[in-house]
Structure 1
Amino acid sequence: MQLIISNLNKTYSNGVQALKDVNLTINQGMFGLLGPNGAGKSSLMRTIATLQEPDSGSILLGEINVLTQKDEVRKTLGYLPQEFGVYPKVDATTLLNHLAVLKGITNASERKSVVEALLQKTNLWDARKKNLGGYSGGMKQRFGIAQALLANPKLIIVDEPTAGLDPAERNRFLNLLSELGENTVVILSTHIVEDVKELCSDMAIFNKGEVLFKGSPDEALNEIVGKIWQKRINKAELSDFKQNFKVISEKLIGGNPIIHVLSDTNPDGTFEAVTGDLEDVYFSKIFANA
């Protein structure tokens, strides 16, 4: 199954153009949508999830017209928004049962089987009778995935799922997402480059409502081969270097910044050539779109 987004536009009443002629074809597997906060990623996710209307354009999920067949989309959609609420005084089993009924799983024995399988899959079985208000951030995210998987969706959207998670919870969550991507279209919307690098075979870089890059991580890396240069400088020099060169990133180490510059040749003869990574690709695209 493919998700095909064509010429999608959205401008809010305050004049902010959140989506600018967005075109994407997303195949089965893990797809990373990478961009800074405020890039328009959530606007795109909400539009795909039938929660808001675009001004123009089209979205097809297989044979389903997402913009006109919303009920059909919702039957096959699993959605984990950036922020989602839970009933803090309700345990996981009870709430999943309730949500399963809303998803149309009305047969009691089937529902019991589905809920128990999801609690096992998301590693929440031992905490199934614990009230959700006592869950850690990672446990709540895994519960969010459990509810998103009710009714065996063909499309799963997760919006900034690892923000605020500790390293162990983040790893558990990413492993779970990776398993899901084997048989489903999974869109991972994030500003964390590592999440995309570790999980996704296809990706897009998104900023100011526009698609700046679409392809595999390897294709992205090929664009910057031989173009990333590194130098350690004094902090007082940073402003001058930013004015004279395409400084795409800076990292303070020992009080002084190490900068990465995008250039076809050694910027001034004093830089060291380094192998660029996906973070360099990301920053170079955002720099060009600034």
Structure 2
Amino acid sequence: MELIIDNLSKTYANGVQALQNISLEIPTGMFGLLGPNGAGKSTLMRTIATLQEADKGSIKLGEIDVLKQKNELRQVLGYLPQQFGLYPKLSAEFLLNHFAILKGINNKGERNDLVNALLIKTNLYEVRKQNLKGFSGGMKQRFGIAQALLSNPKLLIVDEPTAGLDPVERNRFYNVLSEIGEKTVVILSTHIVDDVKELCTNMAIINKGQVCLKGNPKKIIEDMKGKVYKKTIHKQELNSYKQNYQVISERLFLGKPNIHILSDVNPGDGFTQINAELEDVYFSEIFNNTNAKSH
């Protein structure tokens, strides 16, 4: 199964170009969609999920023309949006059972087996009788995945799923997604670089509605090998360094800015070469895309 997005564009009534000629081929497995807030990730996810229309372009999942065969797509889609509502006074088991009935799973025995299997898969079986208002953020996200898997989807979309989760909950969530990705097209939309590095075999970076870069994360990092340098500087020097070097990221270290720059040659000047990380690739692409737009 493969999801093919071709030349997809969307402009809102206020003139914002949310998507500009997006083309991606997404095979079975985990696909990471990276980009800053406002990059167009959620617009793309909602369009694939048939929740809004595109201005032009096409989306196909196998033989399904997504933009024309919305009902057919919805039957094989699992979707976990960035914000989703829960019924706080109902238990996880009751609510999953209710959702299963709404999806047409009418045989009680089959339904109970499915609900129990999903509660086990998402590590919620022990708290299945507990009302959702007592769930932590990570438990709520795992419940969201459980309900998204009720229809045994061929395509699963998760939008910013680990924002606000602690490291333990995040790892649990990673494990669930990784297992699902063995048989399903899973799109993970996020601005958290580590999510993609840990989970995905393919990825794309989008910014301002355009694809900046796509490929295998390890290969993408390898292509930047030997080009990233770091240096700790004084705060008042930051603007000067930005004018003289391609500064792709900055963070405070013991109160002083620690900057990473991109350079094809050793810049000297006290810089130290470091191993490139996916975060360096990400910031470099966002930097280049933003600068290209401003000129």
Interval containing the TM-score (normalised by the shorter chain): over 0.9
Q: Tell me how far 1:110 sits from its aligned partner.
A: 1.0
SS across alignment from 1:153: coil
Match of 1:63 in 2: 63
User: How many equivalent residue pairs?
Assistant: 290
CA distance in 1 between partners of 2:142 and 2:101 (Å): 20
**Distance in structure 2 (CA, Å) of the matches to 1:108 and 1:66:** 32
Is 1:173 the counterpart of 2:173? The answer is yes
Unaligned runs of 5+ in 2: 291-295
Code of the residue aligned with 1:171 in structure 2: it is N
Structure 1 residues 145-177: Cα deviation after superposition (integer angstroms, max 9, x where no partner): 000000110100000000000111111111111
Give TM-score scaled by structure 1 length.
0.98
Q: CA deviation at 1:191?
A: 0.5
Letter in 2 for 1:225: K
Please give the alpha-carbon distance, in whole angstroms, between the structure 2 residues aligned to 1:227 and 1:14.
40
Superposition pairs of residues 123-134 of structure 1, within 5 angstroms: 123-134=123-134
Report what 2:22 is aligned to.
22
AA in 1 matched with 2:288: A
Residue 17 of structure 1: CA displacement?
0.7
Q: CA deviation at 1:267?
A: 2.8
RMSD: 0.9
Instruction: Calculate the TM-score normalised by the size of structure 2.
Output: 0.97
Query: 1:24 is paired with a residue of what secondary structure?
Result: strand
Poorly superposed stretches of 4+, deviation over 2 Å: 266-270
Aligned to 1:11: 11
Which whole-Å CA distance do the structure 2 matches of 1:102 and 1:77 have between them?
Answer: 15
Distance 2:208 2:267 in 1: 29
**Mapping of 1:1-290 within 5 angstroms?**
1-290=1-290
Identity %: 67
Q: Residue 95 of structure 1: CA displacement?
A: 0.8
* TM superposition shift of 1:269: 4.0
**Shift in Å at residue 112 of structure 1?**
1.0
Deviates more, 1:235-244 or 1:278-287: 235-244
Structure 2: distance between partners of 1:232 and 1:47: 43
1:259-286: CA deviation from partner (whole Å, max 9, x where unpaired): 1111111235431111111100000000
**Structure-2 separation of matches of 1:267 and 1:289:** 23
The C-alpha deviation readout for 1:47-106, integer Å capped at 9, x for no partner, is 000000000000000000000111110110000000100011111111111111121212
Gaps of 5+ in 1: none
SS in 2 for 1:89: coil
Distance in 1, Cα, partners of 2:45 & 2:78: 12
